[in-house]
Structure 1
């Protein structure tokens, strides 16, 4: 196991390795941006683009977004910034900005489930269906009364099969391929340049990020969660900006 290097910035936040040795693997929703009522309505905070660009340059390009979203959505919100993106919890992977998205070999969500999900969301105002390449998410942030009906429906769909799993998220239920998680994504990214040989720093905010936290720590790096290690996502972003300013 690699021994973490001395902290580059620790006086007002968690430890981080010196930037010439660090690799940053960051969640998007609830971490780099605040949670919004719907996935499409998130806002990129002023100054975040500059922070990420500076950090990317200082750590030799070893900056990745590890997200539950499809890669195309990260390109929309953070165009040209991350060196690499792991989308849909690691189901899809792009290792460089000009690289191709690695092919996905996955079973698609059954059409019947998608149709039933559409019908279910239509019954509950202020809820949303998010489609993915090999999964879907039912969001109930705008209508907490939908939490139990959504879970019950998903459990019914998944009964008797072992290809897909149900995963809780913040005010949402997700159907995802079994065995796909952010820990795998962290390991895959850290295996190749410009990440290989560096000390991983993974930051997230949700139960779906725990696999990424564990993977980073297992490699001798750092794994942090909001609100356990940073009180809010804004506090994390301020810490991230300070890292670059103090370099």
Structure 2
């Protein structure tokens, strides 16, 4: 797999084509072992929830929290959200519910709903670097700046014409600061810059060393380039991985939309409940 830094000047549509493997079969619940053996690892934006014009406009559809709560119970707590969002942002979206989570692309972690959040050896971005990156938002009206502490995201869903200019500006900053330990993560109408010392995969690896996740087979669902690192490590755990909205190399199936994911998760919960009664 190419290093994410190589994608700095590529829009997501090109990356998806490059990363896509052979055609995959639709997802079947029969692929999933009993939930007592499973750890659910679920991306949020574009996977559980539909994308919105701005990060603050996403919403949790009716029934999703009930499904997640039931799967959390059926797996004895082995369900975690895995996101580029901070833990605080995740909690605001799902409030009043709280879930175990890997946040900030692996920078933060919460192992249980009643435990404190921990930073995972993740240094924040340099302040001067952040200042230079933040100035890119001035290139065009509609570019939204999101400071996540451990990373900085430039959303351009409201200014799609600015995509090339954004990536060119980021590339120029990287050329000016070749020693800066950063990675550029292209997403769906977002360019995110983070410290190179951690990824979603490193966060998942740490998560899988702790109870109740340890010893279970992870089932990971994600949708974009930032999830590629997690897809890549699933064979290390004899796990399952599924993509959403596009093909991805090495996954076991593909969902069309987040709604398909929600239906699938609900079916798994009902299947397990049927076995118990």
TM-score (norm 2): 0.80
- Whose helix fraction is larger, Structure 1's or Structure 2's? 2
Cα shift readout 1:133-161 (whole Å, capped 9, x = no counterpart): 22201111111111111111112222222
Pick the aligned partner of 2:189 from 171, 194, 198: 171
What are the ranges of 5 or more consecutive residues in structure 2 without an aligned counterpart? 1-25, 248-253, 273-277
Deviation of 1:83 (Å): 4.3
Aligned pairs for 1:1-247 (under 5 A) are 12=28, 15-79=31-95, 81=97, 83-103=99-119, 105-159=121-175, 160-227=178-245, 228=247, 229-247=254-272
Q: Which runs of 4+ in 1 moved over 6 A?
A: none
Distance 1:216 1:80 in 2: 31
Deviation of 1:113 (Å): 3.8
Distance 2:30 2:139 in 1: 44
The answer as to whether partners of 1:128 and 1:138 remain within 8 angstroms in 2 is yes
- After the TM superposition, which of the residue ranges 132-141 and 82-91 deviates more from structure 2? 82-91
TM-score (norm 1): 0.89
Q: Which structure ranks higher in relative contact order (CA pairs < 8 Å, sequence separation ≥ 6)? A: 2
The answer as to whether partners of 2:29 and 2:268 remain within 8 angstroms in 1 is no
CA RMSD of aligned residues (A): 2.0
Deviation of 1:216 (Å): 2.0
Distance 1:195 1:136 in 2: 29
Report the CA distance shift for 1:92/1:77 in structure 2 as closer, same or farther (over 3 A): same
The answer as to whether partners of 2:106 and 2:120 remain within 8 angstroms in 1 is no
Distance 1:82 1:221 in 2: 25
Deviation of 1:162 (Å): 3.7
2:250 alignment partner in structure 1: none
The answer as to whether partners of 2:36 and 2:74 remain within 8 angstroms in 1 is yes
The answer as to whether partners of 1:86 and 1:94 remain within 8 angstroms in 2 is yes
The answer as to whether partners of 1:80 and 1:97 remain within 8 angstroms in 2 is no
Distance 2:150 2:83 in 1: 14
Distance 1:11 1:41 in 2: 28
Report the CA distance shift for 1:178/1:14 in structure 2 as closer, same or farther (over 3 A): farther
Deviation of 1:14 (Å): 6.8
2:6 alignment partner in structure 1: none
Cα shift readout 1:164-208 (whole Å, capped 9, x = no counterpart): 121211111111111421111221111110111111000000011
